[in-house]
Amino acid sequence: MPISVLGLDADDTLWHNETFYRMTRQRFNELLADFADAETLEAEIEATEKRNLGLYGYGAKGFTLSMLETALAVSQGQVPTHVITEILAAGREMMRHPVEPFPGVHEALEELSAQYKLILITKGDLFHQESKLAASGLGNFFSGVEIVSEKKAQTYTRIFSRHGAGPEHAAMAGNSVRSDVLPALEAGSYAVLIPYHLVWAHEDAPLPTEHPRFAELPSLADLPRWLAEVADSS
């Protein structure tokens, strides 16, 4: 059987996300400049966020809590109230940032949805991810939406088995090697990396360039052609 189900990541695959995190981190560094330099603050917030993933999961809410925890730690509890207020405001802005699909995404999804069952597979806060999908105007292209706490091989096996004939007959496309590529390949699926110019260190990993089911494409617009080539060779 050929590929019948296509999983797609959301953040930084369909629309901008990491850009807003970087802007917020820069603002955080400015607010805490009296207590630590930018390099120290970057290292501290990175460590705090990774440590808290098991508690808060992915997303802007957990990141805001990690910023508050880091501010209290680096200031030894002396961070002014107005700085706490500014951090909370920055977190709210992340939740409210506009969602505009990348150029060509609407057209690519229109073409892909005519040939494959599309499943949105994304990590993060349930409410926020649902809100972003609704704001994007892309929801009608997807036959299913899966908002998960982590992307592992078992995750893809479960999702692709529920929505299709199993991972062997599915493909996953996204911007994260760690989350969208490696576990999908481990599950037996095809996996496509569509790079974004900013990569969170937690999502980076070596490319599996020798894997026969892996490809790296410049944009989502190139995905229909690649899938057609896979179908022709199978």
Condensed to tens digits (0 to 9), the pLDDT of residues 91-149 reads 999 888 889 899 999 999 999 999 999 999 999 888 889 999 999 999 999 999 999 98
Condensed to tens digits (0 to 9), the pLDDT of residues 197-234 reads 877 777 778 899 899 999 999 999 999 999 999 988 87
Tell me the Ramachandran region of residue 104: left when phi exceeds 0, alpha when psi lies from -120 to 50, beta otherwise. left
Average pLDDT of the segment spanning 56-79 = 94
Indicate if the pLDDT at residue 34 is higher than 90. Answer: yes
Q: Cα–Cα distance between 89 and 203 in angstroms, integer?
A: 26
User: CB burial class (10 A; 0-12, 13-18, 19+) of residue 70?
Assistant: buried
Condensed to tens digits (0 to 9), the pLDDT of residues 160-187 reads 999 999 999 999 999 999 999 999 999 9
Task: Write down the pLDDT at residue 21.
Answer: 87
* Amino acid of residue 126: L
How much is the pTM? Answer: 0.87
Give the rounded percent of residues in the chain with a pLDDT score beyond 90. 77
Task: Write down the pLDDT at residue 1.
Answer: 60
Q: Cα–Cα distance between 179 and 182 in angstroms, integer?
A: 7
Nearest to 122 by CA among 149, 88, 83, 103: 149
